[in-house]
Amino acid sequence: MSFESLAEKALELDADRAILVDRWKGGPGKIEFFRLKEGLKLVPPLIYLKGVKLRREFETEIRRVQAVAIAASSDKDIELQKLADALSDFLQLPKKDVQTLKQTQKAKRKTALYVSRGKDGQIQLTFMLVPAWVEAGPRMRLSHLIWNVEKA
C-alpha cells in the first residue's frame, strides 16, 4: 500500500492517525506511526522488530480484545517510560501502573499494552489480560527504536 492510498483510506475512515506495519522476511519488521494533519506526518518512535509471537501461539484463547491502558514494567527504566509515554500519547490510552491494573474490576476481554524488557534485556511489547495479568499476546520483541524520525 502506498503512502497516498494509506492517507486516502485513513481519511475515508475519518481517522486522524494511522499505523503502518511493514513486512520483513515474511513477518512484521517495522512499525511506523503517522498523524494525518496536512498529509501523512511520521511521528516517533520508529520501531524495528526482532520477532513477533502471535496471539494464536499463546495458551490463553481469546478472540477480540480491547486495550484500555498502557503500562511499563519499571518506573526507573527511562527508555521504557519514554516508549510507554509515546505510545500512550499516540494511541490515546491512559498510562497506568501495573498494580492499579491488577486491582481493576473484572472486565471481559480488556487488555493493557505492557512495555517491558525480556530476559535478553531487549524491549518487548505485549498485551496482558486485565486484571488477571496473564499474557494474551501478541508479543513483539524490539530490535531498536529510532526517535529522530526526520532522518529515518
| CATH of span 3-146 | 3.40.50.10480
Average pLDDT for runs of 10 along the chain of length 152: 78 90 85 88 95 76 80 93 98 93 79 94 94 87 94 58
Domain boundaries, the chain: 3-146
Give alpha helix (H) positions in 13-142: 78-91, 98-102
**In whole angstroms, what is the distance from residue 93 CA to residue 148 CA?**
23
pLDDT of residue 39: 76
**In whole angstroms, what is the distance from residue 152 CA to residue 46 CA?**
8
pLDDT of residue 37: 80
Name beta bridge partners: 27.
24
